[in-house]
Chains A and B, each alone.
Chain A
Amino acid sequence: MSNTDFVLAVEDLTVSFDGFKAIDNLTLYVDKGELRVIIGPNGAGKTTLLDLICGRTRSSTGSIKFRNEEMTTLAEHQIVRAGIGRKFQTPSIYENLTVFKNLEVSFPRGRSVFGALRFKCTPDVKERIETVADEIGLLDDLQKEAGLLSHGQKQWLEIGMLLMQEPELLMLDEPIAGMSVRERELTAELLKRICVNRSMIVIEHDMDFVAKIAHKVTVMHQGKILAEGPMERVQADPKVIDVYLGH
């Protein structure tokens, strides 16, 4: 299969570390505007899959096509520039910089060395920063040092940094880990809002949260896809209950 309407088409993807197949002949398609949640037990290969898509890990065989463009041969920064954003499991922000600077650095202009030397924070950049800060609920904290934010706010800031790049595909690795109940609710609303006009892949364990946000759920097990479909159907699947949900 060559060209598809899917935003992301992962086909026959395999990666092995010293003979251990972390991802085993996996095929996955993500639609435009879709919010896909990947669940599965620890070690199922969920994070590895995201690493492969964003180029952090190189695949052994198989193809990853983003808008029909092959990604497996590109460098990480090229994949980002193509429109794939990645949030890490632990909040990965620049703790010593202000919230404003964190967002400014993520603005997709002046990405070359000399571009960065010439980069000016023009009104349109500022406006964009304020829009995003408003979206993630940090508008009042723009001048605050990012290290002083609460854990939940740090997670939102990193999501905001990705939004600055306006990615077409956003990948979030356990975005609500360590969040309070209230923060989880806010995050669910945030994810639903930002999913407009873009596709998302979210790794998550919290089933209530998954039910709230997922359009479709993919269950992974031992590097393979165990089940895929709407939440209710996946939850009712005996195989899924057996390896993951039932216990």
Chain B
Amino acid sequence: MQKLRQWLITSDLASIAILAIVILVVMPLTADIFRLNLIGKYLSYAFVAVGLVMLWGYGGILSLGQGVFFGLGGYAMAMFLKLEASDPETTKIQSTPGIPDFMDWNQLTALPTWWEPFHSLTFTIVAVMAVPAILAFIIGFAMFKRRVGGVYFAIITQAVALILTVLIIGQQGYTGGVNGMTDLKTMHGWDIRDDSSKYILYYANAILLFAAIFVCRMVQRSKAGTLLLAMRDKEDRVRFSGYDVANFRIFVFCLAAVLCGLGGAMFTLQVGFMSPSFVGIVPSIEMVIFAAVGGRMSLVGAVYGTLLVNFGKTYFSESFPQLWLFLMAALFIGVVMAFPNGLAGVWETSVKPRLLRKRVAAAAQPKSPPPPPATLPTTEAAPASPSGAGTSGNVGPATA
């Protein structure tokens, strides 16, 4: 029993197990389907936050453009769903039936060739991960090989986010413009809008999220994870130990991008549309806030952070819509100033030691009376009394 408690408090596997119970059992039992779908949407953002733990927390690389990769994954999935929703039968009132409605409105008369492969679900699933990875590789290669880092890298990722938003909005005929891709209905004939599929998608999303957490945990525990931490603090030492620092940064940037892409695809499936408002600078920064609040060194913390900030956002933006952005900014500044390691940091430094101390004290208390009183008081009471009578009773068994 004691061991189980110890394990629950200290092991990282236990913290993942507790998170699993919260997400897989508690949430579905307590929330109605509308709320659960909302939570599912938040959990699709959690992929981004988990990716940021790897990229920002471990790799020390702050990207303010993760929305780009989230959007690419989301759009790839949306393109597949949109094509399926645009069969000639349902679009027969269009001047060109069989193409997505927004193309028809923009006087396109044929499906662009780069849309064609998105008829295939397999291709789409590959694209959800590969497109963000390829873009991340190109950006990462160009930046990290030239040793661009820190603020400069953050600014460049932000510029990329802006560019992609402008591109999506400007190319209305190909992307649906500012409205995004809406009216997504089925996936291989399976209606994604009814309650049962929302449950299924929620669980698919949750399981995928845990898979992502485990992959990241594996990376963290490998030598690559150690190296990421090492090069965050002592870049030159790593380089002069024979490692190509840039390659490790490119890798972790691509890993984070793939996770974003998956999150984006799950978002599209659960919410039923995708638009540029999830791609640009503001959502990208919000995603960084999720990770910061949860704790940028903790995979599990990032998920809690995402949930918490989004609950807050939903609550406050319903009650005080004008104040929300200010609250969010205040939250970010407050967290970074007061708790640089977020909720997970507070847990590690304040809650966990206290819990452990209580356990140890509780375990030591019943055991201390049995030993013969002749030896104990003479050896222990003498040095304890000058340090203060009030604390000696507490400190003695706890430190023993």
Contacts and interface: CB of A to CB of B under 8 A. Distances in A.
Contact of A92 (B237, B243, B245): B237
A221 to B, nearest CB: 27
Contacts of B245: 77
Contact of B227 (A85, A96, A116, A158): A116
Contacts of B219: 117
Interface stretch (B53-61, B124-132, B228-236): B228-236
Nearest to A110: B223
B226 interface: yes
B237 A94 contact: yes
Given A86-B240, A113-B248, A116-B248, A105 B233 contact: no
B348 interface: no
A111 interface: yes
B43 to A, nearest CB: 26
| Category for how many chain B residues contact A | 20 to 34
A110 B243 CA distance: 9
B224 A117 contact: yes
A97 B226 contact: yes
B191 interface: no
Given A94-B230, A105-B230, A77 B222 contact: no
Given A110-B223, A116-B227, A77 B243 contact: yes
Given A117-B219, A117-B222, A76 B230 contact: no
A222 interface: no
Contacts of B243: 77, 111, 116
B242 A111 contact: yes
A116 B240 contact: no
A54 B240 contact: yes
B341 to A, nearest CB: 13
A91 to B, nearest CB: 10
Given A105-B223, A117-B222, A80 B230 contact: no
A44 B392 CA distance: 61
Contact of A112 (B226, B236, B237, B247): B247
Interface in B210-267: 219, 222-224, 226-227, 229-230, 233-234, 236-245, 247-248, 250-251
Nearest to B242: A80
Interface residues of A, number: 32
B223 A104 contact: yes
Contact of B234 (A75, A81, A94): A94
Contacts of B234: 92-94
A93 B241 CA distance: 11
A209 interface: no
A118 B236 CA distance: 23
A80 B238 CA distance: 11
Given A75-B244, A165-B242, A119 B251 contact: no
A93 B238 CA distance: 9
Interface in A176-202: none
Nearest to A112: B247
B244 A77 contact: yes
Contacts of A85: 240
A95 interface: yes
A49 B222 CA distance: 36
Given A112-B247, A116-B227, A117-B223, A80 B241 contact: yes
A242 B209 CA distance: 71
A110 B238 CA distance: 13
A32 interface: no
A86 B242 CA distance: 11
Contacts of A104: 223, 226
B289 to A, nearest CB: 26
A116 B223 contact: yes
Contacts of B241: 80, 105-106, 161, 165
Given A92-B234, A94-B233, A95-B233, A80 B223 contact: no
Contacts of B242: 77, 80-81, 108, 111, 165
A101 B250 CA distance: 23
B208 to A, nearest CB: 21
A108 B241 CA distance: 8
Interface string A55-90: 010000000000000000001110011000110100
Given A111-B243, A112-B247, A119 B237 contact: no
B234 to A, nearest CB: 6
A118 B227 CA distance: 13
Contacts of B227: 105, 116
Contact of B239 (A76, A95, A101, A108): A76
A106 B227 CA distance: 10
Contacts of A88: 236-237, 240
A148 to B, nearest CB: 16
Contacts of B237: 88, 92-94, 158, 161
Nearest to B254: A113
Nearest to B227: A116
A93 to B, nearest CB: 7
A70 B240 CA distance: 18
Contacts of B248: 113, 116
A142 B243 CA distance: 23
Interface of A: 54, 56, 75-77, 80-81, 85-86, 88, 92-97, 101, 104-106, 108, 110-113, 116-119, 158, 161, 165
7 contacts: A56-B240, A76-B239, A88-B236, A92-B234, A111-B242, A113-B251, A165-B241
Query: Closest 10 CB pairs between A and B?
Result: A80-B242, A116-B224, A119-B223, A116-B223, A92-B237, A113-B251, A94-B230, A77-B244, A117-B224, A81-B242
Given A77-B239, A97-B226, A116-B248, 20 more contacts: A76-B240, A77-B242, A80-B240, A85-B240, A88-B236, A88-B237, A92-B234, A93-B234, A93-B237, A94-B229, A96-B229, A97-B230, A105-B226, A105-B227, A110-B223, A113-B250, A116-B222, A116-B223, A117-B219, A165-B242
